[in-house]
Amino acid sequence: MAGIIHGRVTASSKGREPIQFVTVPTPIKYLLLEVPSENKGDVFIGGPTVANNNAPVLAKGTPREFTFRHDVKEAPGDLADFYVHFGHNGDVVNYLAITI
């Protein structure tokens, strides 16, 4: 049964390692990301090796959407596959996902 989950990923002071959105497999059919305009640094979204040199910048104050068309024989997305790399400690990414 579909549901909606939301949350926030916050940059830690433990270095610039990618931070996983969630650690438990979470099949999703839609993901909305929002990078607040108050962030100080750049934000990059990708897989476990995401860094500032291998992913596009997500502009501050601009939403980004991902849609997974699992109903046409495509595999659903998995929120646990998404990682974020921050350019500044304390920055955040807000997310809203529709689960399967």
pTM, full prediction:
0.89
Give the pLDDT of residue 55.
93
Q: What is the mean pLDDT of the chain?
A: 90
CATH code of residue 92: 2.60.120.770
- pLDDT bin (cut points 50, 70, 90) of residue 75 is confident
| Digit-coded pLDDT (tens) for 36-46 | 999 998 899 99
Distance in angstroms (rounded) separating the CA atoms of residues 18 and 6: 19
Give the pLDDT of residue 72.
67
Distance in angstroms (rounded) separating the CA atoms of residues 36 and 45: 14
Run of H or E residues at 82:
none
Structure-token match 């998404």, residue found:
82
Give the pLDDT of residue 15.
61
Domain count within the chain: 1
State which residues form the domain around 49: 3-99
| Digit-coded pLDDT (tens) for 90-100 | 999 999 999 98
